[in-house]
Structures are given as structure tokens and as C-alpha cells.
Structure 1
């Protein structure tokens, strides 16, 4: 059984026991997170639309990815040739690491 959920503007295909990094939610470790934005569920046959309007996915927060535990730094480097113009910036994404515990259809 798997579900397709929408969280933070991205779509994820999840099964029970999966661990994934989603956008920062502000929840502390060991709290539960309930995701109600379920797009599809497959439990032998694919259900979408009104058939999954009451479905939800429960997840347990493993790690709060702020401060030291943020994602790997991405370097943004822009250079305009022959103009003596350079720009270097870094970006580290804050995330929440969750484990999917239950898919309720």
C-alpha cells in the first residue's frame, strides 16, 4: 500500500516505514504530524479524487532540521565575463525528517 501526498508544494510517494525530508514544520522530535493533503492511495487499486478526501497520513518527527542539522550547503555562483562582476552565495535548507507510521484510507 502506498500513498501520494502533497507537503510544502512537493509531492511524495510514501509507504509505511519510509523516512523522508520535508520542508520545515516547526515540530519537535517525537511529535506526530498529520498530513491530510492526500492525492492518491493504492491498496490493490488506485483511488483518487473524492475517494481519498477523508484519507490521512500520520508521521513521526525524527529530527528537527534547524540550526546545526540543516541540509548540505548549496553554492550559488554568478560570474559575468569581462565585467569584473562576481557573486557567491550559499543556501542551507531547513527541513524536518519524518518517518511515515500509518496510512489511513
Structure 2
């Protein structure tokens, strides 16, 4: 059984027991989370919402929050003595999916 949920403008395919990194939600560890924007559910037969499946809820529990690995952005213009080096680290919330209710 799996579901496709929408969170933060992105779509995720999840199953029970999966650990997913979402964009930072600002929640404490061991907090219960409900995702009500369920786009599709498959439990033997596929249910696709228009745009969301009515009555479907995906439940999860926050494990922790953290920061991802650093990504280096380097821009250089040849022969112009111009270069820019910048770094970026994505903040995330790690969630364990506990139940899919359809």
C-alpha cells in the first residue's frame, strides 16, 4: 500500500515505515503529523483524487530536524577576473510514516 502526498509544493510517494525528509516544518521531535493533501492511494486498487482523495489521511511522526550537506555554488566569467563562491545547506524535517488511512 502506498500513497502520493503533497507537501511544500512537492509530491512524495510514501509507504508505511518510510522515513522521508521534508522541507523544514518547525516541529519538535515525536510530534504527530497529518498530511491531508493525498493525491492518490493504492491499496489493491488505485484511487486518484480530483485533486485530493476525500477522507484519505497519511499520518507520521517527526524524528528530528537538521541541515543537509553543503552544496557549493561557483560562478566564473572567463577572462573577466570575476568569480563568486557561495554555499547552501537545506533545512529539513525527517518524518517516519506511521499509517495510511484511505
TM-score range, shorter chain: over 0.9
Residue 12 of structure 1 aligns to a residue in which SS?
strand
Trace 1:1-105 onto structure 2 (pairs within 5 A). 1-49=1-49, 52-65=53-66, 70-105=67-102
- Indicate the structure with greater strand content: 2
Give the RMSD, CA atoms, in angstroms: 1.1
TM-score normalized by structure 2? 0.95
Q: State how far apart, in whole Å, the 1-side matches of 2:33 and 2:49 are.
A: 22
**1:9 Cα offset (Å):** 1.2
**1:49 Cα offset (Å):** 1.6
**1:64 Cα offset (Å):** 1.5
Q: Runs of 4+ in structure 1 displaced over 4 angstroms?
A: none
Q: State how far apart, in whole Å, the 1-side matches of 2:35 and 2:47 are.
A: 17
Q: State how far apart, in whole Å, the 2-side matches of 1:2 and 1:52 are.
A: 13
Q: State how far apart, in whole Å, the 1-side matches of 2:4 and 2:49 are.
A: 12
Aligned positions, number: 101
TM-score normalized by structure 1? 0.92
After superposition, the C-alpha distances for 1:47-85 in whole angstroms (9 at most, x for unaligned) are 0125812211111000122xxxx1000000000000000
Structure 2: where are the runs of 5+ without partners?
Answer: none
